[in-house]
Amino acid sequence: MIGSCAAMQSLFRGIEKVSRWDTPVLIAGESGTGKELAAQAIHRASRRAGQPFVAVNCAAIPPTLLMSELFGYERGAFTGALKRKPGRIEMAHGGTLFLDEIGDMPLESQASLLRFLETGCIERLGSTESITVDARIVSATHVDLDAAVAAERFRGDLYHRLCVLRIKQPPLRERDGDITLLAEHILNNLRSHSPDHIKGFSPAALRALSAHDWPGNVRELINRTRHAAAMCENGVITPCDLDLQPPPETRPLTLAEVREAAELNAVKEALQRHHERLIDVAAELGISRVTLFRMMREHRLQVRKGGLGMVCLQG
């Protein structure tokens, strides 16, 4: 999992903490943010690491098949059940069961899953034999489960069982600096399969990547980079190859502008620190009161009428 920004560092710490426990954990976050990677990371860092990691995508399996996928069946349980088949829950014995897109699970399966969470036992379809399964439950969803519970689309009792521990996957637009890091990483992976020599992103492409909002998160970044790698000419990826608007050129600041901004900042902070007492502010900044007044006039920080040496900040 690539990430060096504060949001990802905090996610990594969260993953490490929940890995030490054996209680169910719910990973919340928008689509394409890497919830499945987080689930795998939790498994690998847990004491169950050497055991199976079994993933079930509750949204991808048709509701009529989900029960037999999860719980398995005996021969003859229904038409077409020609031989016994163990379910995914059973296959996760000793390891981790990853229930992806749990928010899309039909209510019927929710009831059976809740029974398993409460008893630690399952019954295959068409059987009355109870099988004990020891699996750690990690679930993930992009659905707002609180709202789903309120709308009675998701069982409240199941919700509380599933999210004893909770992890929030940050959306890509909140990962300052990581966007270009991830893009370079994705491009590097593509290079080995690419027939052409890809040099990299143009400076404008890097700025376009940082400026985009990324509603589809990392998955969208992967798709755009793939597309761009195929479409680019001369091996350099442009904003157009990424299907993004080129961001306007930003003019570098002059030294005078940098100085002015630093001066305004220093004066404002000193005013706040000394509760706007000008004698103390001037002493701390190492300037005379006359100079301080001039600076405040220039930066439009006004003296409040009536108060002796008091100012109000307007800048």
The binding site for ligand ADP (CB under 6 A) comprises: 1-3, 29, 31-37, 182, 218-219, 222
Touching Mg ion, residues 21-40 (CB under 5 A): 36
Query: How far apart, in whole angstroms, are the C-alpha atoms of residue 171 and residue 182?
Result: 13
Q: CA torsion, points 153, 219, 34, 150, in degrees to nearest 10?
A: -20
Smallest separation, CB 230 to ligand ADP (Å): 18
Does residue 184 interact with Mg ion by CB under 5 A?
A: no
149 binding partner (options Mg ion, ligand ADP, none; Cβ < 5 to 8 Å by kind) = none
The token duo for 29 is 């976050």
Query: Which residue lies nearer to ligand ADP by CB, 12 or 21?
Result: 12
34 binding partner (options Mg ion, ligand ADP, none; Cβ < 5 to 8 Å by kind) = ligand ADP
42 binding partner (options Mg ion, ligand ADP, none; Cβ < 5 to 8 Å by kind) = none
Between the alpha carbon of residue 43 and those of residues 23, 29, 51, 163, 182, the distances in Å are 12, 18, 9, 16, 23
Burial class (CB in 10 A: 0-12, 13-18, 19+), 131: middle
Smallest separation, CB 59 to Mg ion (Å): 9
Query: Which residue lies nearer to ligand ADP by CB, 33 or 112?
Result: 33
170 binding partner (options Mg ion, ligand ADP, none; Cβ < 5 to 8 Å by kind) = none
Rg (CA), the chain: 29
57 binding partner (options Mg ion, ligand ADP, none; Cβ < 5 to 8 Å by kind) = none
Query: Which residue lies nearer to Mg ion by CB, 36 or 263?
Result: 36
Smallest separation, CB 25 to ligand ADP (Å): 14
DSSP 8-state class, residue 73? E
Pairing state between β 53-57 and 96-100:
parallel
- Nearest by Cα to 106 from 139, 141, 142, 61: 61
CB-based contact 35:43 (threshold 8 Å): no
Q: Which residue is nearest to ligand ADP (CB)?
A: 34
Query: Which residue lies nearer to Mg ion by CB, 36 or 184?
Result: 36
Smallest separation, CB 144 to ligand ADP (Å): 15
Smallest separation, CB 150 to ligand ADP (Å): 23
Residue 119 carries which side chain, given as an amino acid letter?
Answer: T
DSSP reduced 3-state for 25? strand
Q: Please name the residue ranges forming H helices in the chain.
A: 6-19, 35-45, 63-71, 88-91, 107-119, 145-150, 156-162, 178-191, 203-211, 217-231, 255-273, 278-285, 289-298
Query: Half-sphere exposure (CA, 13 Å, Cβ side) for 91?
Result: 15
Smallest separation, CB 217 to ligand ADP (Å): 7
Smallest separation, CB 30 to ligand ADP (Å): 7
Query: Which residue lies nearer to ligand ADP by CB, 33 or 46?
Result: 33
Query: Which residue lies nearer to Mg ion by CB, 143 or 313?
Result: 143
32 binding partner (options Mg ion, ligand ADP, none; Cβ < 5 to 8 Å by kind) = ligand ADP
Residue ranges binding Mg ion (CB under 5 A): 36
